[in-house]
Each structure stands twice: as C-alpha cells, then as structure tokens.
Amino acid sequence: MSLWPWPLPGEVTPEQIEIVSNLAKPGDVIVESNAHCWQWVAVSYVFTGSTWVHASLVTEPGRMVTMEGKIIDLPLSEYVRWRSTRLAVVRPPYVSSGQMRSAIQYASSQKGLVYDPLFENVNGSCTGIVGEALTRVGVPVEQERILGHRIFPARAFFHIPGARIIYNTENQPKPSGKKHAVSAQ
C-alpha cells in the first residue's frame, strides 16, 4: 500500500520497462524495491539487512508470475503502475532449458494461492514462490529463518552462485525533464 501518493525520484519509467522486457528472458528473476511502500522496505531492512523487497519470475517475454494479493500472472508494465523505485533483472544459472521451464511451471502451478502475511507457507509470498521454484529445480537460493519461518529474502537472488545481473535501474542514467514523469493518478 502506497502511503506517499506523489512521484518520487527514481520511479521506474515505461522506457525502462521496455528495456527490461527486451532483456529479460523466461526464467529470469526481477527483484524490486519501492520507496512508496516504505513500511515493507523498513521491515525488510530490519530483518534481512536489505531494502530489496519483491521478486517475480519472468514466464514469457513481457510477463511474470508474482504475488499481488495472490499468485498471479501479470505484464511487466505493472512495475510502472506500482511506481517501483528500483528494479534489477537477475539471470539464474540454469543448466538446461528444461530446468528453466520446470521452475516456471512450478511457479505457475501455484497461481491463485493467496498471500500469507504470517509467512507460514513459503509459497505465500513473492520471494517465496520464486525462491521455492528455483530451489525445487536445483538452483540454490539462500534461505533464512526469521521469527521461526523459512523465507527467501529478496537480496538472495543477487547471490545465487553463477547468476548474472542483466540490468539494474540503479546503474542507469537518471531521466531528465518532465517527459519521463509518472502521473500521480
């Protein structure tokens, strides 16, 4: 839930989403932070030491499986609607296209599962469904126990052995002028 309705510096632009859509391949992980949801950023920082809070798994060009109240398939353009303030594309080191397809198939099979605010079901969160999908096919993703629950912190996707960061909005030139401003509607 966004508690700050006005634009913030660094909000993801439609142009950046187009770049992400062109670069991201099925099986890639998109990791997000969003200063509009500062409360999640703060909780993540306290418990994991990172301000990265969200993850999704690219299923096909321009689409992802992620959590938005429930596990759902969405276009990558949702990051503009969510007014994300940082995105990164991480490419896991799949050993075969079959391994990558199995990860997508597992995550997609969980569609409709509702968000678990108590983190009792590892699949009941955005990072959980992505981390579990990768782990089940043999891609090791760091897990932590926080308050007695097994979680996959969003920062863990950057530390998958052999993974490559394909794109990170933090490393891109900042847009200039008002042509890139995101509407506050």
Give residue-wise pLDDT tens across range 10-64.
788 899 999 999 999 999 999 988 766 667 766 765 677 777 888 999 999 999 9
**Is the model more confident about 170 or about 135?**
135
Number of folded domains that form the chain: 1
What pTM value is reported for the model?
0.85
Cα–Cα distance between 107 and 65 in angstroms, integer? 7
Q: What is the mean pLDDT of the chain?
A: 85
Q: Strand 54-60 relative to strand 29-33: parallel, antiparallel, unpaired?
A: antiparallel
List the CATH number of the domain containing 128. Answer: 3.90.1720.10
For position 184, what pLDDT does the model report?
A: 27
For position 9, what pLDDT does the model report?
A: 74
Domain of 104 in residue numbering reads as: 14-164
Q: Is there a domain that residue 106 lies in?
A: yes
